[in-house]
Copies of this chain bind each other. A is one copy, B any other.
């Protein structure tokens, strides 16, 4: 019964409808399903029929009343809007539906979908462009948990371009690094809840020095965002006592891919040089 939509039912029963009802059905189908979302009065006016006609039609379709009809329209819409992949019930096929692997993955996919839907592409590209600019030095800062993300980012950027520094915010020596920050430099900050005070201070001071700040944070946005030129807000909710960094990592890797592409000639040279160094290291290791 729920397999066929209201639109289908309207068309199937079209012959059994009266003149005004057909006029109404036409109007609904014309711009389905948004046309059926207003109040019963709005719908009636759009179709140029009276409200009782609308009420009678939805009853003919088997609904108790207009609100019930509209509820089903909304359900249909939701099914249609939400991306098809998000409806994957079981990801790990060999696991039961409620297994942590499936629940977790389900949540992560949702996070990805929502985060990406809200991202501003111009901002993304502005950030990548700044990171690819060889005239700007790059500093990377993480917090207690996010230091792993910061490290991951640093490892890649270090290969992609020169003048990249990882500020180990754990140490209380970070003010030393600030000495190096010049106007126009880029400071990439990771601050996901529990936001850290020292990170905020660092951002404030970097901003004062005229640095461009790129922030990776969660949907609730760290206070650092006041100073940020580019702000990536990642959804982090998962069925766990911990927050998920998967979406942050996804964006991070996208940024890396984009920057590396903008910078390809430079990156290429650096990667080759790195390879060569590894080869020589390995050569020596053989004999140890």
Contact = CB atoms under 8 A, between A and B. Distances in A.
Q: Which 9 A-B pairs rank lowest in CB-CB distance, beginning with the nearest?
A: A240-B257, A148-B152, A91-B116, A95-B121, A34-B78, A148-B151, A92-B116, A104-B254, A83-B88
A264 to B, nearest CB: 8
Contacts of A233: 11
Nearest to A152: B148
Interface of A: 2, 7, 11, 14-15, 22, 26, 29-34, 37-38, 71, 74, 77-78, 81-85, 88, 91-95, 99-101, 104-105, 108-109, 112-114, 116-121, 124, 144-145, 147-149, 151-152, 155-156, 194, 197-198, 219-221, 225, 233, 238-242, 244-246, 249-250, 253-254, 256-258, 260-261, 267, 271, 278, 282, 285
A148 to B, nearest CB: 4
Given A31-B82, A151-B151, A240 B220 contact: no
A219 B26 contact: yes
Contacts of A32: 117
A108 B251 CA distance: 11
Task: Count identical subunits in the complex.
Answer: 2
A263 to B, nearest CB: 11
A29 B84 CA distance: 18
A275 B244 CA distance: 19
Contacts of A152: 145, 148-149, 245
Contacts of A121: 92, 94-95, 99, 101
A2 B84 CA distance: 24
Contact of A94 (B94, B99, B119, B258): B119
A143 B220 CA distance: 33
Contacts of A74: 34, 37-38
Nearest to A32: B117
Contact of A250 (B83, B104, B120, B145): B104
B117 A92 contact: yes
Contacts of A77: 34, 37, 77
B253 A104 contact: yes
Residue from A38, A100, A114, A145 having most chain B Cβ neighbours under 10 A: A100
Among A15, A197, A242, which residue has the most Cβ atoms of chain B within 10 A? A242
B105 A92 contact: no
Given A118-B7, A242-B256, A285 B197 contact: yes
